[in-house]
Structure 1
């Protein structure tokens, strides 16, 4: 497995500190983020999943704890929209350049507005997908938000 991805390249270029953590990806896992948390031995609330969605038809990225579900109402509100829905997997892959299960918020082909669940700011470090299946990036939430130009907002149900 390559530990250099578009996601890690973006972080290196930004000059932020991060750690790469590889794990045994299980494609048949019911919830990929929970499987990643278990594999790397951290609480699932520290492993954040990257969700590609649409708010009023515009693509957006939401980063939320792997053990929580995003509220579509709160997601729409975070972008001052009326409605939100999850993006189809094929559309998410085309937009980001990553495969489902390996979608990172960093280094996406097309940069879209990003919001992170505000609870993540309470963690010393969080884990986000590193741009391929079985690769996580450990990073401080503030650094992740700065690189992503992301806002914090309440997103979970």
Structure 2
């Protein structure tokens, strides 16, 4: 019997968005979740994206950037018309998204947040993001990711 899909995978299925699940072994001792995914899957770190939750002017927002870079919080705030953004506390990110750190997906979050995907995603035909749990990525077209999380593209990677 197959395991129930994560909220992210269920959302992609409901929206009829083409995707491929990329499972890998997650070492419970690992805290470098994105690096672990890149290495385990043998993927280009420019095509594996991490989902970061930030607090901008008191509101939670999401930035999706390649593993090869970092989130430019000033750029994220500017794109969303805010003054300042800081990374959200892990507990706040987990509570809002419904996912655990290292498995936060931009898709199927408990609370839909404004989402910005780094513009570099559009340089690739396929990218991967967390599918909603550690040890599982989902590969899809960047435009489909934007549609699934109602995100927009902008240069937000540092």
Give the shorter-chain TM-score range.
over 0.9
CA distance in 1: counterparts of 2:30 and 2:66, whole angstroms: 17
Structure 2: 5+ residue runs without aligned partners? none
Deviation at 1:117, TM superposition (A): 0.2
Query: Which residue pairs with 1:126 in the alignment?
Result: 127
- On the 8 A contact 1:33/1:67 being kept in 2, the answer is no
Q: Report the equivalent of 1:18.
A: 19
**Secondary structure in 2 aligned to 1:73?**
helix
User: Structure 1: how far apart are the matches of 2:90 and 2:63?
Assistant: 14
Residue in structure 2 matched with residue 145 of structure 1 by the alignment: 146
Runs of 4+ in 1 over 3 A off after TM superposition: 27-30
Over the residues paired in the alignment, what is the CA RMSD in angstroms?
Answer: 1.3
Q: Partners of 1:45 and 1:2 in 2: how far apart?
A: 30
Structure 2 length normalisation: TM-score?
0.95
Q: After superposition, where does 1:18-57 map in structure 2 within 5 Å?
A: 18-29=19-30, 31-57=32-58
Q: What is the aligned residue count?
A: 157
Deviation at 1:29, TM superposition (A): 3.5
Residue 3 (structure 1) shift: 6.2
**In structure 1, what is the equivalent of residue 90 of structure 2?**
89
Task: Measure, in 1, the Cα distance between the counterparts of 2:22 and 2:4.
Answer: 9
Whole-angstrom CA distance in 2 between matches of 1:3 and 1:43: 29
Q: 3-state DSSP class of the match of 1:26?
A: coil
Preserved CA contact (<8 Å) 1:114 1:151: yes
Partner of 2:80: 79
